[in-house]
Amino acid sequence: MNYFFSLFILLFIHQLTYSQTAFNGQIKSEESDNVIPYVNIGLADKGIGTISDQKGNFVLKIPSGIDEKEIVTFSCIGYKTKGISIEKLHHTSEILLKKDTVFLETVSVTSENHKEKNPKPKKLGKAYTLLAFFHNNFFIYGEVESNHIGKERGMILPVKKNCLLQSLNFHVSSNEYRFVKFRLHFYTIENGEPAELINDQDIIFKIENQFRGWHKVDLKPYSIHLDKSLENVGVSLQWIDSENTDKESKFFSISATPLSSARHIAREKVLGKWKVSKFKLNFYLDYLEEENL
């Protein structure tokens, strides 16, 4: 009898430990009532977060034991960041975000200012790979596929010249997905970690049909300027959506090599803590020196 009672108590404690509340909702624009896709949602530094889907819908799972006064942050480029307490989220299923009318200055380039007729792009980061002996994967053993949402992987790259970005290039070494959608982020670097988001436009791209090899993202339409005063910039890929080939599909990786200094950046959840490690992704930016434009 005592055995069964003890077992019941253990199971009850286990249930309390791992219980969680799922908050369902939809995010819309306050001005137009249009849905807002791929909004970052999370509790800062708690390892709890998600991203709204293409129709603005989201499911945020919060474990029991988290203070109800903790703030859930909703953020998306082009809209003002909004914070709602967990307590209020119990009674709110529709989240309205205001458009942000403040935009960062971008660089306008015209052919009249070219010092060189055809300036050649230069590179920031590792520009080639021989054999992919190492792989930096978005999947960690024991996870389910949905946990990819919100993960970020990238590099800290040095900025020694004023430059205008042309493209991002990275080497996909494994891919088991029909498609993966990524969002590209640029961050300032403080104390060796990503800090403030730099880009003022949402840069979203898709990789389809289990593609492997070098993938190129055209950045010319976004007029992204990096000033040498930055010294370093964090460049990351955030996983925002995907469709796997079957239930067992889990792997998507970028080829990499060990590095003597800590330059690889990663975090596992939206608004989660960054981890910086001694790894170098096969991952680089093409840019034009602004002195030559």
pLDDT at residue 130, rounded to an integer: 56
- Domain end point (choices 71, 97, 123): 97
The answer on 125 and 80 residing in a single domain is no
Structural domain contains residue 103: no
Query: Is 261 inside any structural domain?
Result: yes
Domain extent, residue 183, equals 111-292
Asked if residues 84 and 71 have their Cβ atoms less than 8 Å apart, the reply is yes
Regarding whether 259 and 164 lie in a shared domain, the answer is yes
Entry pTM: 0.84
Domain assignment present for 158: yes
Q: Which of 97, 124, 145 is the last residue of a domain?
A: 97
Is the same domain home to 274 and 140?
yes
Q: SS in 3 state form for the chain?
A: CHHHHHHHHHHHHHHHHHCEEEEEEEEEECCCCCECCCCEEEECCCCEEEECCCCCEEEEEEECCCCCCCEEEEECCCECCEEEEHHHHCCCCEEEECECCCCCCCCCCCHHHCCCCCCCCEEEECCCCCCCCEEEECCCCCCCHHHHCCCEEEEEEECCCCEEEEEEEEEEEEECEEEEEEEEEEEEEECCEEEEECCCCCEEEEEECCCCEEEEEECHHHCCEECHHHCEEEEEEEEEEEEECCCCCCCEEEEEEECCCCCEEEECCCCCCCEEECEEECEEEEEEEHHHC
Residues 117 and 213 in one domain: yes
Q: Give a yes or no: residue 166 inside a domain.
A: yes
Domain harbouring 55, CATH code: 2.60.40.1120
Instruction: Give pLDDT tens digits for 176-208.
Output: 999 999 999 999 999 999 999 998 899 999 999
pLDDT at site 11: 45
Model confidence at 258, pLDDT cuts 50, 70, 90, reads confident
* Average pLDDT score over residue span 114-135: 69
Whether residues 166 and 285 fall in one domain: yes
| CATH number of the CATH domain containing 172 | 2.60.120
What is the pLDDT at residue 14? 44
Same domain, 141 and 254: yes
**Cα→Cα distances 279→39, 70, 136, 154, 262, Å:** 29, 34, 9, 10, 7
> Structural domain tally of the chain?
2
Q: Which of 48, 73, 97 is the last residue of a domain?
A: 97
Residues 249 and 283 in one domain: yes
CA distance 63 to 29: 28
> What's the pLDDT at 13?
44
